[in-house]
Amino acid sequence: MNTSQNLFFFLLLSFYTLTIVIGQDETGFVSSINPKLLTKKVAASHFRFYWQDIVGGENATSIPIIQPLPKFNNSFSAFGLVRIIDNPLTLTPNLTSKLLGRAQGFYAATSQTELDFLMVQNFALFEGKYNGSTITISGRNVANDKVRELPVIGGSGVFRFAKGYAEARTISFDFITGDTVVEYNVYVTHHK
């Protein structure tokens, strides 16, 4: 191929690729997004609530679905443990305070040497204009760090196209029951 043939082939390939990206592709299930969805006014909000992880008793909200690997069963890290959660999000650290929503998802012990979790959860909110909306968080949580930062990766309802971060601080841990209260401060940008 000579230079002009290479240039023609490159331009033809570029045009074809651009046509696929801009328009609908051949399969019929991809199309452009309405720009009005992306140009709504953006708000920045700070939410604070208390995550109640109740791991024992009749009212447990966090249950193991995979136990730690045998070699780590009695270790500090609990490597391999996976818990599914439906934890209350309350207004104050007191479990009986106003229920603002629920944290639904799972966490998994991902370190062999420290208490380190992969957190994947939706904060499903019940209050006011946020009722029925969710904030989705997924990230690393080193439980012994004073403050842990986890990314907000999206959401639903009011929180479509949301982004931001959450700071988690352990308020209390009961060594007998294993129940934990964590303060979450969530900083998120979202559509108004």
pLDDT score, position 20: 47
- The mean per-residue pLDDT over the stretch 124-131 comes to 94
Identify whether 110 is part of a domain: yes
Name the least confident of 14-28, 46-60, 148-162: 14-28
Identify whether 4 is part of a domain: no
Q: Which helix (H) or strand (E) holds 40?
A: none
Contact 111, 78 (CB under 8 A): no
pLDDT score, position 111: 93
Q: What CATH number does the domain containing 60 carry?
A: 2.40.480.10
81: left (phi over 0), alpha (psi -120 to 50) or beta: beta
- The count of domains in the chain is 1
Q: Is 178 helix (H, G, I), strand (E, B) or coil?
A: coil
Query: pTM value?
Result: 0.80
Counting every residue, how long is the chain? 192
Distance CA 169, CA 16 (A): 52
The encoded tokens of residue 147 equal: 């403050």
- The mean per-residue pLDDT over the stretch 156-165 comes to 94
Identify whether 16 is part of a domain: no
Question: pLDDT at residue 21 above 50?
Answer: no
Task: Note down the domain range covering 143.
Answer: 40-191
Model confidence over 37-78: pLDDT tens digits? 666 688 899 999 999 999 988 999 999 999 988 876 667 788
DSSP states of 156-177: EGGGTT-EEEEEEEEEEE-TTT
**Residue scoring higher pLDDT (20 or 167):** 167
Identify whether 67 is part of a domain: yes
